[in-house]
Structures are given as structure tokens and as C-alpha cells.
Structure 1
Amino acid sequence: MSGTLTELNAYPLKSGGGTALPRAELTARGLPFDREFMLVTPEGRFLSQRDLAQMALLRPSYDGVVLTVDAPWSSPLVHKAVDEGEVLEVTVQRKECQGVDQGDEAAAWFSELLDTDCRLVRFTGHRPTSRGGGEVMFADGYPLLVISAESLADLNTRLDEPLPMNRFRPSLVIEGLGPYAEDDVRLLRVGAAVIEMIKPCARCLITTTDQETAERGREPLRTLAAYRTRDRAIQFGYNAVPRLLGTLTVGDDVEVLEPR
């Protein structure tokens, strides 16, 4: 069974907007710079669109040196990433990790913008995936999220108004394997790389947040709950870890190496 890679998306700032990539080198931690930065409360707890829906409107870009964040109601933040600084103990989904504090100027910009006292941190150290023996930066638990285009197409036939793929914030979108094919694959070759599908993705409130307006509704969770509830979670898409690193390019062939 084969298909095509149709989207590559990285998210330099956790819960900010995605960056569409035509080509990327897959690393052990996923796509380059993915969730390398994160906002935290003064106590070190991560902030996301679950807390602040307006984070959907942030448009970050990062070249490995400078993080630029655009927002519709402010002048942009242009921040040179700090390598050496105070290392903060922070938590992601109640799991401890570390981040380098990015300084008072960035903290003030985000705090004023979001009307919430917060700090910007940059990932440092090592953080294992929840399962599967992989590595991850500030993503919830896994470096990659894979969704079939046909899965969204099937969901949209059940909705009054179709939703775009960005509601689900995938890393890789594949086409040609059929609806929910990601559920039935263990090993997938994408271009020169191989990834292992580890765990279904349990969906949360973020999927109900319009990524262009930050408005919240009841869909798609209401509809997904009726036919995609498994193990007491609403599932859509699959978390994955890299097994063989390589270059990924939109348009690459996708091949099922091992079904589940």
C-alpha cells in the first residue's frame, strides 16, 4: 500500500501557528525546531490554546537563530534565541523538563499581548517520549503526529461545516492510504525516512478552536465522540517516532512497511 506526503508542518512555539515546510531533515526529535519554544506560567507550567485560545493567532517563524512572532493586534516580536541563561524547571502535561529563560523583553511582550504573566523558554536537555523510546522537545508526548487526508475528508462528510486540517495540527499529512489508515500501520516509510506509529492521538479542546479567529465551538469533538471514542478518549491521528532519519519532501512517496 502506498501514498503521498502532502503536508509538512512544524510548530516552533508550542500552541502557536504552524509553519508549512516544503522540505525538512527529520531529526530524532521530529521536524526542525518543532516545539523548541514554549510559554510558561511563573510556576513553570506550560501554557497552550487550552488556556488561552488567542494563542492560535500567533504566527511564529524560526531560522535557528531568530524567533519572529507576528500577532494581528501587535507589532511583531523579533527575538534572538538565548543559548545560555537561567535554566527553569518547567512542566508539560505534568511531566518535568527544562527550558532556558529567554529574558525579560520576550516575557514582557507575551505577557502584555496575552494579558497573562508568562515567560518564554527554549528547550534544553533530554526528554523521552511517553512511549516508544523516542525523544521530544516541548510537544505533549511525541515528536510526530500523522493524519491521513482521507480521515479529515471522512470527518467532514459528517459535519455541517467542513474543517481545515490545521484544526488538528499535524506534523505529516499523507494521502492515498484511505480513511484512518494511520490506525492500521506500525511502520511507515516516508521519502528516505522510516517512522513508527506508536499511539493514537487523544484529541482535546484545541481542535474546537478556529486557528484563524481563535473562536471556539463544539465541533469536531461532538461528532468525533460519536464514532472515534476508544479507550475513553476521542482519537484522531496517530503519534509517531522516527526510526530512520532522512530528508522529507512534500510529494514524497509513502509506503506501508509493516501493518499493525
Structure 2
Amino acid sequence: MSSNAEPDVRTRIARLFVYPVKSCAGVAVTEAPLTETGLDLDRAWMVVDEAGEFVSQRELPRMALIRPQLKHSEVVLRAPGMLALHLAADQVAAPARVRVWDDEVEAWDMGDVAAQWFTDFLGTKLRVARFDPEVKRASNTKWTGGVEALNQFSDGYPLLVASEGSLAELNRRLAAAGHAAVGMERFRPNIVLAGLEAQDEDRLDVLRIAADREVLLKPVKPCPRCPIPDIDPATAESTPYVSEALRQYRSNPIVDGAITFGMNAIVLEGIDATLRVGQDVTANWVFA
């Protein structure tokens, strides 16, 4: 298809989310700068145990109740029964070495006050780490097609893209089974697209976004889902009917039959552009 041909798909950005602290609640934003590691400050901090291993809602579902707020030079964290914790965006306490999945990386410890805050709220001894921007943590090139796609503390890719259509289909199935609808917050995407049919994001090629400069994002890998979508972000209680519903129709052979929802994406062009809710997005279908 020539570059002048009409694109297969025209859609727009419906919602944007940033997750400053890995596995804590996200922040819905109307705009966000795009960096080489994804949206600015996304997964810039991570909570770790005494061995430096990351922890998440999988083990500590109450992390869902920790709600960040983005300020000019800091992130403010609030949780039930706790005074606010302020994490300066440009201050750290000491070097640290931490582990996220298979990657062990140099990072920065955020000090004893932050550590005690998370320890008190979550009931186990914890520290808080800040990603070191000098570290290069790359996505698996098997999926990126050899492109060096960098991450901070995300699971493995700079961005996660989902669609309103996919959530609507899940909620249709939940309603048919007598369950309440769920929100997109459970799936922790960075970019939510409007105007697509269910799971259309699975088969989109490069996303071209009409930002203040050309932005090209490439979906590269379906996102396998762990039990985190079962956790109600308002209560931190598990509602396993979400995974049960997905299991009925979202087994994906591309990732060995894992249950998937949304697409991991990488940045091809557009670093330092600003993404905004409402921006137009065009793409073509990927044909096998």
C-alpha cells in the first residue's frame, strides 16, 4: 500500500494513563510527553522487597489502593489511613540494585521515609526504587523486530494499547453472565483507542498519531494477562469472574495460548512529542 493510500483504520485517543509507581493505581491524564521509554514518568518508581525483587498487586493487592497524583516536581501518593507521601522527581537517596522479572538493574533507593510508608500500608518490609535513566533496559528483540525499545520498570514494553471496543465486549459477556461491568483501569493501558471493534488493536500495524510532531507506535506483542484484572481497583478485592470470562474467548496462540487483552507497543518515532486525548490515530491492518 502506498503512503498516499487511504488508511484502513481511523480512530482517536480516548484516554491516556500514566502509572508512576509500578502496580499502584494509575493517573488518567489529558496529555503526556512521549519519551523513549513510553509516557513520561510511567513506571519510574517500583516497590521492592528486602531482596530487591519487585512486588505487585499479584502478591499485595492493596497496592491498588495507593493513588498517585502528578505534580510539577513530585509525585504525591495517598492511601487509606495514611498521610500523603511525596516522592521528588529529581531526588534520590542511595544506589540500589533491583530486579524486575528477568532483569537485574542498577537503580536508586528513595530513602527510609518512603520505605516505611509502603511497609506500614502493605504490612511487609519494603523499599522504593527509582529507575536510573543511565540504565538501558530493552524489550525482547524477538518481538520488536530487532528495534531497541527501552523501558523503565514496565513489565517489558514501553506502552500498552487497548480499545474501548475490547472492554465493551468483555462487559457484554460479563453482563450476560450476571456480573457487573468493569472499568479499563483494571487492564492498566497507557493508550486507549476509541471507535474500534473488539480486539481490533490486535491486528493493527504502525499507529500514526497526529501530535505536534509525527508519532509512530508499533504494536508488537499481545499482552498476556495475570490475575491483576481480577482486582477491583476501588476495594483491592479479587473478583475472579473477570479472568473466567476472558478465558472463554481470549486464548491467544501467538503467546502459547495465554489469555491476552491489549497490545504491547514500542516507539518508532516521536520522542518528545506530546500525546493528547482526542488526537487522531490512523493505521493499516497487519496481514499475515
Normalising by structure 1, we get a TM-score of 0.95
Q: 2 CA distance for matches of 1:227 and 1:162?
A: 17
- Do the aligned partners of 2:92 and 2:111 also contact (CA within 8 Å) in 1? no
Shift of 1:58: 0.3
Counterpart for residue 258 of structure 2: 233
Gaps of 5+ in 2: 1-8
- Do the aligned partners of 2:159 and 2:190 also contact (CA within 8 Å) in 1? yes
Q: 1 CA distance for matches of 2:264 and 2:14?
A: 17
Once the two structures are overlaid, the 10-residue window that deviates more, 136-145 or 241-250, is 241-250
Matched, 1:113 2:121: yes
Q: 2 CA distance for matches of 1:64 and 1:240?
A: 27
Q: 1 CA distance for matches of 2:102 and 2:184?
A: 28
2:56 pairs with one of 48, 55, 73 = 48
* Equivalent position SS for 2:118: helix
Shift of 1:3: 0.7
Once the two structures are overlaid, the 10-residue window that deviates more, 221-230 or 87-96, is 87-96
Deviations 1:207-256 (A, max 9, x none): 10001110102121111111111222101100001111122110011100
Counterpart for residue 60 of structure 1: 68
Counterpart for residue 180 of structure 1: 199
Q: 1 CA distance for matches of 2:136 and 2:237?
A: 35
* Equivalent position SS for 1:39: strand
Shift >6 Å, 4+ stretches: none
Counterpart for residue 144 of structure 1: 159
Counterpart for residue 6 of structure 2: none
- Do the aligned partners of 1:82 and 1:102 also contact (CA within 8 Å) in 2? no
Normalising by structure 2, we get a TM-score of 0.87
Counterpart for residue 128 of structure 1: 138
Counterpart for residue 277 of structure 2: 250
- Do the aligned partners of 1:191 and 1:254 also contact (CA within 8 Å) in 2? yes
Give the number of aligned pairs: 260
Distance 1:158 1:258, change over 3 A: closer
Matched, 1:212 2:234: yes
Shift of 1:35: 0.3
* Equivalent position SS for 2:37: coil
Counterpart for residue 219 of structure 2: 197
Q: Name the amino acid aligned to 1:165.
A: M
* Equivalent position SS for 1:186: coil
Counterpart for residue 173 of structure 2: 158
Counterpart for residue 8 of structure 1: 16
Distance 1:126 1:146, change over 3 A: same
- Do the aligned partners of 1:191 and 1:249 also contact (CA within 8 Å) in 2? no
Gaps of 5+ in 1: none
Deviations 1:88-142 (A, max 9, x none): 1111113212220011111111111111101011001221112322000000001
Counterpart for residue 5 of structure 2: none
Q: 2 CA distance for matches of 1:26 and 1:241?
A: 11
Deviations 1:57-100 (A, max 9, x none): 00112346322100012111123346454221111113212220
User: Which structure would you say has the larger Rg?
Assistant: 2
Counterpart for residue 30 of structure 1: 38
- Do the aligned partners of 1:33 and 1:62 also contact (CA within 8 Å) in 2? no
* Equivalent position SS for 1:38: strand
- Do the aligned partners of 1:29 and 1:136 also contact (CA within 8 Å) in 2? yes
* Equivalent position SS for 2:171: helix
* Equivalent position SS for 1:16: coil
Once the two structures are overlaid, the 10-residue window that deviates more, 221-230 or 89-98, is 89-98
Q: 1 CA distance for matches of 2:86 and 2:93?
A: 18
- Do the aligned partners of 2:92 and 2:130 also contact (CA within 8 Å) in 1? no
Q: 1 CA distance for matches of 2:184 and 2:258?
A: 20
